[in-house]
Chains A and B, each alone.
Chain A
């Protein structure tokens, strides 16, 4: 673990964000094995319990997708193509393996491309079910046990219940820290900017969980110490979307005269707000968390009752964030060809408007080239909020 001065706090988070993967490159030199994974639905607890370092693959909006297009058609969402493009360009050459959950079709149907193109010593697909009922949970638990066996074959060591429970506790501690961090956003003006939170959380999934927890804790202390240094801005914005692993979009909102104070994003509240329970069979608690607790658009949730009950079940957490974080307006930020979130747009929009928050829906291509037209929409949305 790095103990030298300057390895903590906002400056360190910035550095880990800018030089993404720098920490695992060091660990690799020390003999650690690094397992890359896509999406917050990968059960990282199991990877950590196997003594491996989980590392989230990240894209780059500033890097045009040039190499990925020969393997992935443009109907694959631009985020996944950017991840793959970065991997092909050698950005993640330290990886010993890759794990892909069936989060969405863009991710799961490209599994064989990832597996056969990167040709890493280890690769595994977790064919996660899409609904939350009993049989689906049972099926998912069986898949997680297969994953557990597959990882222990790779390392040559069994993954004990004890090591799984320990990993679960470490991740729960990490998630508790993120929730503590989010408390700093409730003040008006917030004590920490949306861009600072985004960079910290993106950096946090690029290193071992214990180190990420220390990093987040150090930022909380630094921010509390510096106090209310952020200027007042007229609007408090919540961003809702799939995975935002680049700060450019958050910067754009904050440069246009608003603070981003809440989100339903990965890495963000969706990824960190629900713990895995420590259960007699540790797989049980992990399965419950990923299939039933994380409220991602890719998982279908049925609810007895009328349409309003259904909307409440699907999006009620967004309504609670709007209230708790005193949100003035919500930006739905959806990537082109994002099946889970694209499909949900009309329902999400009407739910959010029904709880009284205006909505700006933006479809984007995960590229710097779109910044100009996004800026006009965001500025117009803030003007609309301001004149109310």
Chain B
């Protein structure tokens, strides 16, 4: 039997992620979403296809997810990031019962049962508790986002960051800097503020072990430590925290094809084309 290939496309507010799978992951690409790149999801897809040495026609099924999922013209189906993260984490970390995803624009908690989402909470009403909060702070502190985690581990003390509003918290940070508070202390306190907010939200799901951490936030060691301190136990991290949504999307596509084959149904496919999304032009 001819091999089947499945693609998952996760268009987040900050990053676009594409994964191509057959039995295992064959290729993955992570690129910025950005105002220009957003309409170029096909470029990231082409890059992934080139890496996997496949043509678009060889892909059996494409599932799009994430906040930009509606605008992927070449997808066969759109599925929300909740279901995709659940499926991805369920596959990569089978012991996980709770997922905490910290993305650029939102953060969410997902409760898992048998590798599927059974309940969820989401915060995307404001930047507090999201990656954007840290981006704004990194800029204000003149530190690169990638260095925030490492620097915060050098902290000796914590200072109070009392504002949850990103704009006001940024002002507070400037005030602390001018008071002479050490940079690592400030960064660690910021992580603490985000962790408190996210933990408070996810707790409504009645957190069960193990807890998996995904999204850009999971790549920040300082934030991971701060969340572990709140939880009181260590978290699980997937090999690449940015890819769980795209992997889940590809796997859900595989599930859909599998179910159709099992039932002897003809698969309903979109008339997909590998072209630019026109909605943004």
**B124 at interface by CB-CB < 8 Å:** yes
Q: How large is the interface on A (under 10, 10 to 19, 20 to 34, 35 or more residues)?
A: 10 to 19
With A376-B67, A376-B80, A376-B81 already in contact, the answer to whether A383 and B117 are too (CB < 8 A) is yes
User: Mask for B66-93, Cβ within 8 A of A = 1, else 0?
Assistant: 0100000000000111110000000000
User: Mask for A115-153, Cβ within 8 A of B = 1, else 0?
Assistant: 000000000000000000000000000000000000000
With A376-B67, A376-B81 already in contact, the answer to whether A384 and B119 are too (CB < 8 A) is yes
**B125 at interface by CB-CB < 8 Å:** yes
A387 in contact with B124 (CB, 8 Å) = no
Q: Tally of A-B residue pairs with Cβ under 8 A? A: 34
B82 in contact with A380 (CB, 8 Å) = yes
B125 in contact with A384 (CB, 8 Å) = no
User: Mask for A366-388, Cβ within 8 A of B = 1, else 0?
Assistant: 00000001001101100110011
**A358 at interface by CB-CB < 8 Å:** yes
**Chain B residues, Cβ within 8 Å of A358:** 118-119
CA distance A99 to B124 in the complex (A): 38
**Chain A residues, Cβ within 8 Å of B79:** 383
CA distance A373 to B116 in the complex (A): 21
CA distance A379 to B69 in the complex (A): 12
CB-contact partner of B125 in A373, A383, A387, under 8 A: A373
CA distance A387 to B255 in the complex (A): 12
User: Which residues of A in the span 322-379 have a Cβ within 8 Å of any Cβ on B?
Assistant: 358, 373, 376-377, 379
**B199 at interface by CB-CB < 8 Å:** no
Closest to A378 in B: B80
B118 in contact with A384 (CB, 8 Å) = yes
**Chain A residues, Cβ within 8 Å of B81:** 376, 380
Interface SS of B by simple majority: mixed
CA distance A183 to B139 in the complex (A): 59
User: Mask for B115-134, Cβ within 8 A of A = 1, else 0?
Assistant: 01111101011000000000
CA distance A380 to B120 in the complex (A): 9
**Chain A residues, Cβ within 8 Å of B125:** 373
B82 in contact with A383 (CB, 8 Å) = yes
CB-contact partner of B124 in A373, A380, A384, under 8 A: A373
B119 in contact with A387 (CB, 8 Å) = no
With A358-B119, A376-B67 already in contact, the answer to whether A383 and B124 are too (CB < 8 A) is no
CA distance A383 to B248 in the complex (A): 14
A384 in contact with B83 (CB, 8 Å) = yes
**Chain A residues, Cβ within 8 Å of B67:** 376
Number of residues in B with C-beta < 8 Å to the partner?
Answer: 14
Interface SS of A by simple majority: helix
B117 in contact with A384 (CB, 8 Å) = yes
With A373-B125, A376-B67, A376-B122 already in contact, the answer to whether A387 and B116 are too (CB < 8 A) is yes
**Chain B residues, Cβ within 8 Å of A376:** 67, 80-82, 122
**Chain B residues, Cβ within 8 Å of A380:** 80-83, 117, 120
**Chain A residues, Cβ within 8 Å of B122:** 373, 376-377
CA distance A358 to B118 in the complex (A): 9
Closest to A386 in B: B83
CA distance A377 to B67 in the complex (A): 11
User: Which residues of A in the span 64-95 have a Cβ within 8 Å of any Cβ on B?
Assistant: none
CA distance A329 to B84 in the complex (A): 21
CA distance A379 to B67 in the complex (A): 12
CA distance A3 to B119 in the complex (A): 51
CA distance A62 to B81 in the complex (A): 28
CA distance A358 to B83 in the complex (A): 16
B80 in contact with A387 (CB, 8 Å) = no
**Chain B residues, Cβ within 8 Å of A379:** 80
A383 in contact with B80 (CB, 8 Å) = yes
CA distance A383 to B122 in the complex (A): 15
Closest to A377 in B: B122
Closest to B69 in A: A376
**Chain A residues, Cβ within 8 Å of B116:** 384, 387
Q: Closest CB of chain B to A257's CB: distance in Å?
A: 11
Q: Closest CB of chain B to A373's CB: distance in Å?
A: 5
CA distance A112 to B92 in the complex (A): 60
Closest to B125 in A: A373
**Chain B residues, Cβ within 8 Å of A377:** 122
CA distance A379 to B82 in the complex (A): 9
Q: Closest CB of chain A to B133's CB: distance in Å?
A: 17
**Chain A residues, Cβ within 8 Å of B124:** 373
Q: Closest CB of chain A to B264's CB: distance in Å?
A: 21
Q: Closest CB of chain B to A107's CB: distance in Å?
A: 25
CA distance A377 to B121 in the complex (A): 9
**Chain A residues, Cβ within 8 Å of B118:** 358, 384, 388
A383 in contact with B119 (CB, 8 Å) = no
CA distance A172 to B82 in the complex (A): 45
CA distance A387 to B111 in the complex (A): 14
**Chain A residues, Cβ within 8 Å of B83:** 380, 383-384, 387
CA distance A379 to B84 in the complex (A): 12
Q: Closest CB of chain B to A68's CB: distance in Å?
A: 21
Q: Closest CB of chain B to A133's CB: distance in Å?
A: 34
CA distance A32 to B37 in the complex (A): 60
CA distance A380 to B125 in the complex (A): 17
Closest to B117 in A: A384
CA distance A358 to B124 in the complex (A): 22
**Chain A residues, Cβ within 8 Å of B117:** 380, 383-384, 387
Closest to A349 in B: B204
User: Mask for A231-251, Cβ within 8 A of B = 1, else 0?
Assistant: 000000000000000000000
- What 13 additional pairs, Cβ within 8 angstroms, besides A373-B125, A380-B120? A373-B124, A376-B67, A376-B122, A379-B80, A380-B80, A380-B82, A380-B83, A383-B79, A384-B83, A384-B116, A384-B119, A387-B83, A387-B117
Residue pairs across A and B with Cβ atoms less than 8 A apart, 7 shown, are A373-B122, A373-B124, A376-B67, A380-B81, A380-B117, A383-B83, A388-B118
Interface positions of A (Cβ within 8 A of B): 358, 373, 376-377, 379-380, 383-384, 387-388
Interface positions of B (Cβ within 8 A of A): 67, 79-83, 116-120, 122, 124-125
9 A-B pairs closest in CB distance = A380-B82, A380-B80, A383-B83, A379-B80, A387-B116, A384-B117, A373-B124, A376-B80, A383-B80
